[in-house]
Structure 1
Amino acid sequence: MIDELARAERAVATCADASAWALSEHDLVAALDATHRLQQRLAAVQVAVVRELDGRGTAVGQGASSTTVWLRHRLRLDVAAARRLVGLAASLDGAPPAVRAALASGAVTVEQARVIAEAVATVSARAGVEVADKAVGVLVDWAAQFDPTLLRRLGSRILDHVAPEIADAAAAAALEAEAARAARDRHVTVSERAGGRLRLSGTLDAETAALVRAAIDPLSAPCGSDDTRTASQRRHDALGEVCRLALRTGELPEHGGDPAQLVVTTDFDGLTRQLGAGTLDTGPHLTPEAVRRLACDAAVLPAVLGGAGQVLDVGRQRRLVTGPLRRALALRDGGCAFPGCDRPPRWCAAHHIRHWADGGPTSLDNAVLLCGHHHRHLHQTEWAVRLEGDGTPEFVPPAWLDPDQIPRRNHYHRRT
């Protein structure tokens, strides 16, 4: 397989160096169709490889919390793309051979194959394998005409074509299957963008969608005739207001040992002179105006930093026993310190570098922030962690993973 893929890569490289402008319009269209078929056939190979790697537990064995996280780091994908790849591999794992053959031949796209596999699974459960095989043939034929969205809609009534005598009963089953898919596919993805912005995407089930609409619709109305915000901007502001209302209740559960809260690091002199920008504990920077607005309704906790950003002293709030140390760790590590992990401080626990049972103190010099997965991983494997002279955690991999045992650092979190 490796040799064949290498030959295919060389062939594609040759095509990439060719001049598309020299082709006729007819040849350009033919080239477009050919590249699309090749792309889908390569996707079929990639999905099969991901399915096998996931089944073997390769990602966890190499220290990642999941195959999705491992793919993101290995292939430099964003989280949504990595999650989609793992989801496709899982959905096609039990697909009939005819579906996998159609995908491998380029007759259907990866998304179409996923739709067909899900529709056929429903048919097989209600009408048996023989009818399911007929459904595969019909759906593959339809895939030449319809995109995945229309194909899914048609697939929900496929029994009208291959087994009309049981179609009504199967329609009820399809409705139940759709509800199960909605529960399985529900997700919200938060992706970082430049300038500290976030991109929200996802799929809500019907009940959650109704709750979100009920919460944000009243806050999304225009505020008078001079409101120049677009509808999308009003929904954005409404979502922020719902979150502010939730934080004000004080009823949210603790997160990482602290109450749910917004943590901003800023220079005190700059804050008083209305010139100081700030940094959220999740990494993004805030303007001086935003920092002062947040400070109007917040407890101000002083922290003293050395010249290289080391935390020298952190003030205390009476209601928080471990708050000062956690804040110091958050300022220093920025989140889970394990290489390749982007989990924020709120998802992390403090790990004793020299274990408590071995006499290790609870101090900043003997602690490092780790998410739940990497905390367990460090305790259960041969990875080692240490603090370098600049206070940055370094992780030494086991010899079986890296014979040279070159220390690794986390580059996802920028230090203050």
Structure 2
Amino acid sequence: MAALTARFLELLAEFDRRGGWSGEGIMSCAHWLTWRTGLSIRTAQEHLRIAHALPELPLLRQAFTEGRLSYSKVRALTRVATPEREEELLNVALSATASQVERLVQSIRKVDRHKDESERSTIDSSSSWSWNFDGSLSVKLRLSPLDGARFLAGVVRAEYERTRAAGDPDLPTEPAPDEDAPDVTKKSPGHPGSADLWRNVPSDIAPAVVAMGDTMQSTISVPEFVPGAELVVHTHDDADPHLDDGPALEDADVDEAACGGAVRKVKHGKKRKGARGIVLNYGRKRRMPTRKVMRVLFERDRCCQHPGCGRTRHLHAHHVQFWSQDGPTNPDNLILLCSAHHRALHRGEFAIKAHGRQQFSFHRPDGSTIERAPAVHKPEGWQPDTAIDDAAVLPISPGRHLDAGYATEVLYAAWAWKARQSDADLAAA
């Protein structure tokens, strides 16, 4: 299996270099792989990343081809391997399990990241989040000093507002006023206690962060669906259409604009010599789908509907029967397409047919149907390579504990020694 996977990735890299994946509505080799083999887009992208990395790593590539390294090990190693590092990494990988290699690579990536940051004297803010099996949400933040200070300042303000609005019984009560006593404390407006209470960040910031989220939801209004800005397209009897005070457009661009945003067409008559064409009609603004219709589309489609695409961002509601040709604005005539496939459709790379009851099919320019999931046929007469031992992929010393910290330290020491030797050889030459 490992040897066959290595061969597959070798062919995949060559296939990508030749552009064999190009076709109607296909945006990339990863997209083609998703469509043809049923892989997720992220898995397809990983396959391509590894396929293009292996030619620069001959030792890892050979071990993979010989079935001594599994795909999981190669996937991890190619994240940190370089031609200078691969010999040592291969030695470790041959003696470790896939999970141990993953831990080691994570350790190396942390060291590399810290080295890069120390060399640049900057720290890049980053974060990750995931839903847990019990339904809770885990969020991990790593912020630069300035970004961290901004975040904590927002936490303090959110906590202040949360406890003030909730009437927290733990807040200090305001003492009775003493007319003769000087005003030595400065109270915050509307706060029942001393401002000194808010000098420190609360130890548990979760309630404050939730309050920050509630504040953003209630105070910042955004449209539920964001259509494009209104476009004004001028059409002439004897000239190409063009944007208002802008460049000329192709017919496909005009059709795409009419589908993807609010458009007003201005029709001009024939130009007379030395005069601008008379405006014959300042067209009505096209009606976008209502919010209710858009909710139906997003609930039904969720992503771009071109076979194998699955993109969830920058989606357009496309009129299968063009709106300019009296196509209705209802779910039976609307389908979600990403911006790339929407553009490809208007350029004639493929077509869509509506069959009623919200059923659609995609077709190539020759009329043949683009399948949702093309059939995959297994090769006939295949036999396993007898030169590859059944136990080739097993670690040399299975079951042994790997000290990731110690292994990382040894590897970096070896790489530093190799770098010094290389510098000495260059100096001697």
Sort the TM-score into its range (normalised by shorter chain): 0.3 to 0.5
Larger Rg belongs to = 2
TM-score norm. by structure 1 comes to: 0.46
